[in-house]
Structure 1
């Protein structure tokens, strides 16, 4: 799959976390999130778009080829895949009260934390230039910033958090959509090969 297609899928998926929260949070001040098959589906679209962005960044070598970059790449792809398994679980058996359900659900916040590492790897690798270099860390900081604003701005936190999500993940998709993969992709991808030691 080429980066234009990956970027397009990522662009389509970017707003779905926001859409989902507006549908499934009846009262933002009550901190109640209703989950059902539809929420699982909308979250699947969002995480799938995020995965497309990460695959696209990997293809252009944005995280670098050093050990930290390789570990960040594996960690984000793995945690997003597990978060998407929860989304599928949620679509089939919403609110299923099992250990597996809760373990898979934990990969949502874990993915956000791992994204901070991805952002740091992208900054260190210097493969992206200008504003593009800082977008992955902007995505990674979404969770801590959302937590911070929920304590500081009260009623506006819900709208700010949702706006932040759309902007950050749309910018991430645009980077993938507009970036070129190195001409000799096979050789370049070999440099990203996972090494245990």
Structure 2
């Protein structure tokens, strides 16, 4: 009697059974949908304030929740890219896509701290505040890794890149228009469109193994 290769001393449990490509795709699609739903939240908050910048601690409850929702969708997007092995299957690729999961989680924490009127001079608050621009930089790094890893079809590799350049484009716009602050309208529209497209690419993406199976069966 042949033994199941995944069987140890008894029947294969749900916890030890490997996730099939189809199950993985379903999870990634859910993460993509969440990313799409959360993508326009920073733009919505910008409209609420007439596209004027709100400093830390000045936003209201709804504004903080909108920023937190965007960060949650952002975190889901990075997790989806990780599950698709979009940055490659080696240690470096896994490390690159894991880093923003940590920094974005810290960025998420800033909203509850603002809601609770936490001391903005505390080390914890400063870390959560720095996590936002750091996560944007890491998103750009992830987007470049996705582009060169070639684990996904080209259209799905361009969506992360559009998100990754949001901060550089914002700084370029500041320099061109001679602005002192990040242009809220430009940055809001860029993030809304970019993260929506990234979520859409996750919804439509298939793991490389599944694509190879389809091609082999064709």
How many angstroms apart in 2 are the aligned matches of 1:9 and 1:32? Answer: 25
Deviation at 1:85, TM superposition (A): 1.3
Query: Residue 23 of structure 1 is aligned with which of 24, 48, 55?
Result: 48
Give the TM-score of the pair, scaled to structure 1: 0.81
Deviation at 1:107, TM superposition (A): 0.1
* Local SS of the residue matching 2:206: coil
How many angstroms apart in 2 are the aligned matches of 1:27 and 1:71? Answer: 36
Which stretches in structure 2 are left out of the alignment for 5+ residues?
A: 1-25, 211-218
Deviation at 1:4, TM superposition (A): 2.0
Moved more, 57-66 or 76-85: 57-66
Equivalence for 2:199: 173
Assess, with a 3 A threshold, how the Cα gap between structure 1 residues 48 and 138 changes in structure 2: closer, same or farther.
same
Which stretches in structure 1 are left out of the alignment for 5+ residues?
A: 185-197
Query: Residue 79 of structure 2 is aligned with which of 30, 33, 55?
Result: 55
Q: Does 1:85 align with 2:109?
A: yes
Which structure's CA Rg is the greater one?
2
Aligned residues: 181
Deviation at 1:54, TM superposition (A): 1.1
How many angstroms apart in 1 are the aligned matches of 2:155 and 2:28? Answer: 19
Query: Residue 153 of structure 1 is aligned with which of 171, 177, 190?
Result: 177
Equivalence for 2:22: none
How many angstroms apart in 2 are the aligned matches of 1:18 and 1:95? Answer: 27
Q: Does 1:132 align with 2:132?
A: no
Assess, with a 3 A threshold, how the Cα gap between structure 1 residues 77 and 32 changes in structure 2: closer, same or farther.
closer
State whether residues 106 and 131 of structure 2, in contact with CA within 8 Å, keep that contact through their aligned partners in structure 1. Answer: yes
* Local SS of the residue matching 1:63: coil
Q: CA RMSD in A?
A: 2.4
Superimposed CA distance per residue, residues 73-129 of structure 1 (whole angstroms, 9 cap, x where no aligned partner):
121111111111112212222674423212211100000001111011101210121
State whether residues 87 and 142 of structure 2, in contact with CA within 8 Å, keep that contact through their aligned partners in structure 1. Answer: yes
Once the two structures are superposed, the pairs formed by residues 92-111 of structure 1 within 5 Å of their partners are: 92-93=116-117, 96-111=120-135
Q: Does 1:162 align with 2:193?
A: no
